[in-house]
């Protein structure tokens, strides 16, 4: 499995065990030594909350690396602008769920670029049959992006929307 995604403006990479631990234990030292700028507002509160669980997953099974926290790095300024979080390996039916957080100071084009690249990567993975993500009703730009990606709104719980995309396997006949 490919461990990085490269686009025109972005690099998406899984967050290693070392970086995950450093974010919790030695953040100031990590900020000083990292060639990539780690903004004060990153990681999001959600990622901060799941980092200990993610670290446990990685310590038990290093193959979890691509199925957890991903960093979204912008080339030009060499800084982290957001993250993706996969809630684990595909389930028995091949479904995965992800969420994402991007710094709103960056253009919606960066958001689209990251979403398109990450979704494409997921759909190329043979073990995945469907992907799911979420947004709120007021996130009109995300709703538009999800629609362009082919995701379908499958559930609405008040202002919370669930989006899904099932991979269609084409029959190959000789």
Q: Is the pLDDT of residue 156 over 90?
A: yes
* Least confident interval from 45-59, 105-119, 125-139: 105-119
Predicted structure pTM score:
0.89
pLDDT per residue as tens digits for the range 8-34: 999 999 999 999 999 989 999 989 999
Domain boundaries of the chain, sorted by first residue: 5-90+98-126
pLDDT for 153 equals: 96
Gap between the Cα atoms of 161 and 43, Å rounded: 23
Contact 122, 131 (CB under 8 A): yes
Instruction: Please give the average per-residue pLDDT across 126-136, as a whole number.
Output: 94
Strand stretches in 110-170, DSSP E: 130-136, 152-157, 160-166
Instruction: Please give the average per-residue pLDDT across 111-127, as a whole number.
Output: 92
pLDDT for 150 equals: 92
pLDDT for 158 equals: 93
Strand stretches in the chain, DSSP E: 5-6, 10-14, 69-74, 79-86, 95-102, 130-136, 152-157, 160-166
Confidence of residue 172 (pLDDT cuts 50, 70, 90): very low
pLDDT for 169 equals: 65
Gap between the Cα atoms of 46 and 137, Å rounded: 19
Q: Is the pLDDT of residue 164 over 70?
A: yes
pLDDT per residue as tens digits for the range 68-110: 999 999 999 899 999 999 999 999 999 999 999 888 777 778 8
Q: How far is CA 107 from CA 55, 64, 102, 104, 114, in A?
A: 31, 31, 10, 7, 11
Contact 83, 100 (CB under 8 A): yes
């Amino acid at each position: 499995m490919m461990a990085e995604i490269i686009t025109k403006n972005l690099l998406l990479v899984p967050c290693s065990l070392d970086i995950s631990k450093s974010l919790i234990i030695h953040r100031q030292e990590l900020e000083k030594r990292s060639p990539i700028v780690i903004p004060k507002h990153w990681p999001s509160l959600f990622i901060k909350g799941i980092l200990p669980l993610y670290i446990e997953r990685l310590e038990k099974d290093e193959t979890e690396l691509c199925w957890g926290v991903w960093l979204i790095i912008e080339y030009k300024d060499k800084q982290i602008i957001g993250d993706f979080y996969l809630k684990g390996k595909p389930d028995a039916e091949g479904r995965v769920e992800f969420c994402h957080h991007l710094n709103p100071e960056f253009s919606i084009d960066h958001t689209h670029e990251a979403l398109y690249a990450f979704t494409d990567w997921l759909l190329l993975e043979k073990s995945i049959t469907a992907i799911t993500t979420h947004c709120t009703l007021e996130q009109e730009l995300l709703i538009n992006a999800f629609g362009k990606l082919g995701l379908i709104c499958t559930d609405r719980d008040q202002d919370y929307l669930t989006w899904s995309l099932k991979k269609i396997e084409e029959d190959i006949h000789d």
